[in-house]
Structure 1
């Protein structure tokens, strides 16, 4: 589903995706049309325009009404830090930047439908800065100290963009067990979505690497 209140952008993207072999494409431009589409079908993914005049309102709705449908933020600007953070808090599964070609969007759609999460480097940097600020306010100890070995293992897989089903298959455990571990991870790390968890996992890894290098210099 394409969710954008700009008819020119929405229709142009729909034509482009159809030319690239994407099947049925539904279009919505406001809350009533969005609800109408959901009443008739269940899309595999939602492409939400970050260039819409009602993006903030639409973001809240798609995050709560059908949280089972992954959402990709398209037309994302690296200058819109507030919008990027809001998307992460809403559980956005992927970001397509304004300067990225259609081929990247097509690849991203496939990754997200398969259960993955994709964060461009600039988005990762913004979210990392946000998490660092939150952590500083809480004045907590390194959060990985409170995680079990299994949770650390799953956190690493979340950083790789693996879906819950992929994790369950690799670890040989039930899907609902993975979901419980992920829920516990979010609670312990103080994050709201897989994107924030993946960013924090990267930050922890970099912190440990930096400390190990510092110890090596002192030896």
Structure 2
């Protein structure tokens, strides 16, 4: 048997984090390894417990979920952990800031338990939780903040074909849609995406979208 996915639950409301932990622990492939009520405690516990996924609230005392996510999964973190942000606040600003901080996914607390469990498994697998179209709309809405004023960076270490795939990925295309556009197989697209993430030292597709906007690859 494979080891269960280790989850740390961080929420300042005891009832909510206990409920989340109960849902998680009812699954054979998931395990709650710790609970805490503020972002600083999440950072400290992550260093000690080494969870696979941190389920993170946004509005919390001491250190909010966005800042905690940045410390756990942001750019330059030596050993980033995957963070799934779960909040009651359905604001684009929160979603955007969470993804910019390094989160791999975003859910609302009123999502059904099955969606939460799917989110944890998805993030743990290395995939991003947000639908590609949602990602495109979200990052596109804030593109002016992250897109450089000059033209595309000529020093991007990708082949012309990899750049094509990255541009389509940043446009919100799924693997099958990218395959159809480039007349290649979905398996080949997966290979290209994996190479892109490795070459650019990115964790998932969400980070690749933000990278493409930052480098002026998407108009």
- TM band (smaller chain): 0.5 to 0.7
**Cα separation, 2, equivalents of 1:171 and 1:196:** 17
| Structure-2 change in CA distance of 1:131 and 1:74 (3 Å) | same
The equivalent of 1:8 in structure 2 is 15
Shift of 1:151: 3.6
Whole-angstrom distance in 2 between the partners of 1:139 and 1:206: 12
Contact 1:90 1:193 in 2 (8 A): no
State the Cα distance separating 1:198 from its structure 2 match: 3.3
Residues 64-109 of structure 1: per-residue CA shift (max 9 Å, x gap): 5664321101125332x33222211111111112442111111111
Deviation at 1:58?
2.0
Q: Which has the higher helix share?
A: 1
Q: CA contact under 8 A between 2:10 and 2:35: conserved in structure 1? A: yes
SS of residue in 1 equivalent to 2:142: helix
Conserved in 1, the CA contact under 8 Å of 2:10 and 2:42? no
Residue 18 (str. 1) matches residue 25 (str. 2):
yes
1:78 and 2:78 aligned: no
Q: What residue is the counterpart of 1:89 in the other structure?
A: 100
SS state at 2:52 partner? coil
SS at match of 1:106: helix
Does residue 189 of structure 2 align to residue 181 of structure 1? no
Cα 1:111/1:168, change in 2 over 3 Å:
farther
Instruction: Write the distance in 2 (CA, Å) between the matches of 1:148 and 1:4.
Output: 44
What is the TM-score normalised by the length of structure 2?
0.64
Q: Which has the larger radius of gyration?
A: 1
Q: CA deviation at 1:17?
A: 2.1
Q: Output the CA distance in 2 between the equivalents of 1:67 and 1:168.
A: 29
**Root mean square deviation, CA, Å:** 4.2
Q: Which has the higher strand share?
A: 2
- Verify the 8 A CA contact 2:105 2:129 in the aligned structure 1: yes
Q: Return the alpha-carbon distance in structure 2 between the equivalents of residues 122 and 157 of structure 1.
A: 12
Deviation string, structure 1 residues 27-48 (Cα, Å, up to 9, x no partner): 1223246424532x32111100
- Structure 1 CA distance for aligned equivalents of residues 211 and 43 of structure 2: 33
Deviation for aligned residue 1:141: 5.8
* Equivalent position SS for 2:31: coil
- 5+ long unaligned stretches in structure 2: 1-7, 176-186
